[in-house]
A and B are shown apart, each in its own frame.
Chain A
Amino acid sequence: MRKHVSHSEGKEVVISISKLYKSFDENNVLQGIDLELCKGENLVVLGRSGTGKSVLIKIIVGLLKPDSGTVKVFGKEVDKLNKKELTDLRLKIGFLFQHSALYDSMTIRENLEFPLVRNKRHISRKEIDESVKDVLEAVGLSDTINQLPSELSGGQQKRIGLARTLIMKPEIIFYDEPTAGLDPLTSSEINDLINEVQEKYKTSSIIITHDLTCAKDTGDKIFMMMNGKFTRHGDFEEVFDTSDETIRAFFDYNFIQ
């Protein structure tokens, strides 16, 4: 289990969200979200599938536009940034997608080089090779460098997705269901990797999951999301120390199953 980082009042806030609303046609997905992520913190957004967790992080990185409310990353309101400012902001952000989203026509090396060579146009071949080697070692998959994503297992694809994120040395990483579709052992390895990355690269993270083990192992703070709203937040014990039947059912299903 993760050694929790205590939340101190004086910590730098890297993401702050206030009164965030988002709907798709008649479906109100987010209904008044408030959230703060401090520097060096792992924040878990926990909830059932379809409650709007992924929509939340896609709004934070500017992939979706909110209907109303403010989302600030490093003090800048994401919705009001121009293209250049948004690009600059994204250079400080990493995103591990639920299905890894590796470029399937490229080898692992090309996948890792892709963001690097396009964002650092004058980087030398030697620096590229070193960066690729470093991140592959960090995720423990150095021997896959010339393989295609389709030749890797689901867990390996997640690791490479994380390596592609790390190569840009992000300050904030978003994990969208990092353990979804993985067996318990591989899930546990991914959870350990998330913690290792946080310690090694001093990143702040938002982890979206419905997996309680993942939440427990990786989260400093847990926000329980139901029907587009946060119903409880705190550390793992605080969130589940409740008589609320829905939350208890969620807990029981995850652990008893």
Chain B
Amino acid sequence: MDTTSPQPAKYLISKSVDEFFSGISDVAKFVLQFFKEAFTPPYEYQEVIKQCYNVGYKSLSLITLTAFITGIVFTKHSRPALADFGATSWLPSLIGIAIMKALAPLITGLICAGKVGSQMGAELGSMRVSEQIDAMEVSAVNPFKFLVVTRVLAATLMIPLLVMYSGFIGLLGSFLNVHANEQTSLVTFIHGAFAKINFSEIISSLARALIFGFTIGIIGCYKGYTTTQGTEGVGRAANSSVVVIMFLIFIEEIIIVQFMNWINPGG
């Protein structure tokens, strides 16, 4: 009897280069599978709601603290530069633009990369190595739909809401500082903060948040779902989720800002 098994294929270029491109190809397949499963019934509504709670509600305290401090600190750092020109009355406009257009999506994205992305990576990774995902599969349940689709949808839906929330908390922190120093009223502050922001810029921020949310969900789930090599692999999945998501968020930020400047040069 022939006891030899087919030998594995040789590497096309080198092991690391092949692994890099096969990794990209695997992520692309993962994304395609997400879209395929997301639009195919049955839908896991209850699990989506549960994951929205996990991603959204459970991140509120961290987002509140970070956004509030960012608002205060940014205001304090901006004041001296404007004061040199006697332009502290422009603080609300400056803060409004900075927070609503740039800081809120970016900070929320980075915070959620750490909190939500690592959680998804570790949770699914742990389920993978303890064979819970295999158990779902052999009991004729689609684990991708139950675990991945629900989490990615939750992240994509919740991060824009968290960005809006973080923007308003950042403005609140800023207002308290401006009010304490310049005695500006709330109405004047809000009027100033939104004077230089138009609706399309708010939409642009939310669109970025949507993309960041999808990135956080898909990378966190991909890293966890494809975990190998036991508990060490779980740690690696959680860690690499955060690193890759943060890297991608910065890349996406640059591309989106360039794109928005291109379609709306005055914005």
Binding site for B on A (CB under 8 A): 21-23, 25-26, 28, 30-32, 58, 61, 63, 67-68, 87-88, 90-91, 93-95, 97-99, 101-104, 114-115, 118-119, 121, 164-165, 168, 229
Q: Is the CB of B5 within 8 A of A164?
A: no
The count of residues in chain B whose C-beta lies closer than 8 Å to any C-beta of chain A is 22
Q: Is the CB of A68 within 8 A of B6?
A: yes
In addition to A21-B5, A67-B6, A119-B140, 6 A-B residue pairs with Cβ atoms within 8 Å of each other are A28-B4, A90-B140, A95-B139, A99-B131, A104-B130, A114-B136
Q: How far is the CA of A229 from the CA of B5 in the complex (A)?
A: 13
Q: How far is the CA of A103 from the CA of B142 in the complex (A)?
A: 14
Q: Is B12 an interface residue (CB 8 A)?
A: no
Q: Is the CB of B140 within 8 A of A97?
A: no
Return the contact of A68 from the options B1, B5, B136, B141 (Cβ within 8 A): B5
Q: Which residues of A contact B134 (CB under 8 A)?
A: 58, 63, 95, 97, 101
Return the contact of B141 from the options A21, A95, A114 (Cβ within 8 A): A114
Q: How far is the CA of A155 from the CA of B128 in the complex (A)?
A: 22
Q: Is B138 an interface residue (CB 8 A)?
A: yes
Q: Is B186 an interface residue (CB 8 A)?
A: no
Most chain A beta-carbon contacts within 10 A, residue among B42, B132, B136, B138 = B138
Supposing A101-B130, A115-B141 touch, asked if A121 and B5 sit within 8 A by C-beta, the answer is no
Supposing A21-B6, A115-B141, A119-B141 touch, asked if A95 and B1 sit within 8 A by C-beta, the answer is no
Supposing A91-B140, A114-B141, A119-B140 touch, asked if A97 and B3 sit within 8 A by C-beta, the answer is no
Q: Is the CB of A104 within 8 A of B3?
A: no
Return the contact of A99 from the options B3, B130, B146 (Cβ within 8 A): B130
Q: Is the CB of B8 within 8 A of A95?
A: no
Binding site for A on B (CB under 8 A): 1-6, 8, 42, 127, 130-132, 134-142, 146
Least CB distance from B35 to A in Å reads 16
Least CB distance from B246 to A in Å reads 27
Q: How far is the CA of A98 from the CA of B4 in the complex (A)?
A: 29
Closest 9 CB pairs of A and B: A115-B139, A101-B135, A101-B131, A90-B140, A21-B5, A95-B138, A23-B5, A97-B131, A118-B141
Q: Which residues of A contact B6 (CB under 8 A)?
A: 21, 23, 67-68
Residue of B nearest to A93 (CB): B138
Q: Which residues of B contact A101 (CB under 8 A)?
A: 130-132, 134-135
Query: How would you classify the secondary structure of chain A's contact residues: helix, strand, loop or mixed?
Result: mixed
Q: Which residues of B contact A67 (CB under 8 A)?
A: 5-6
Q: Is the CB of A26 within 8 A of B132?
A: no
Q: Is the CB of A32 within 8 A of B2?
A: yes
Least CB distance from B126 to A in Å reads 8
Could you name 30 residue pairs across A and B whose Cβ atoms are closer than 8 Å?
A21-B5, A22-B5, A23-B6, A26-B8, A30-B5, A58-B134, A61-B138, A63-B137, A63-B138, A67-B6, A68-B5, A68-B6, A91-B140, A95-B135, A97-B131, A98-B131, A101-B130, A101-B134, A101-B135, A102-B135, A114-B141, A115-B139, A115-B140, A118-B140, A119-B140, A119-B141, A164-B135, A168-B139, A168-B140, A229-B3
Residue of B nearest to A176 (CB): B131
Least CB distance from B24 to A in Å reads 21
Q: Which residues of B contact A165 (CB under 8 A)?
A: 139
Least CB distance from A35 to B in Å reads 15
Q: How far is the CA of A21 from the CA of B4 in the complex (A)?
A: 8
Q: Is the CB of A31 within 8 A of B5?
A: yes
Q: Which residues of B contact A91 (CB under 8 A)?
A: 140
Q: Which residues of A contact B137 (CB under 8 A)?
A: 63, 90
Q: How far is the CA of A25 from the CA of B15 in the complex (A)?
A: 13
Q: How far is the CA of A104 from the CA of B142 in the complex (A)?
A: 18
Residue of A nearest to B4 (CB): A28
Residue of A nearest to B133 (CB): A101
Residue of A nearest to B44 (CB): A118
Q: Which residues of B contact A63 (CB under 8 A)?
A: 134, 137-138
Return the contact of A90 from the options B1, B130, B139, B146 (Cβ within 8 A): B139
Residue of B nearest to A63 (CB): B134
Least CB distance from A168 to B in Å reads 6
Q: How far is the CA of A32 from the CA of B138 in the complex (A)?
A: 24
Q: How far is the CA of A31 from the CA of B265 in the complex (A)?
A: 66
Least CB distance from B128 to A in Å reads 11
Residue of A nearest to B8 (CB): A25
Q: Is the CB of A28 within 8 A of B5?
A: yes
Q: Which residues of B contact A87 (CB under 8 A)?
A: 140, 142
Q: How far is the CA of A26 from the CA of B8 in the complex (A)?
A: 7
Least CB distance from A122 to B in Å reads 11
Q: Which residues of A contact B4 (CB under 8 A)?
A: 28
Q: How far is the CA of A67 from the CA of B5 in the complex (A)?
A: 7
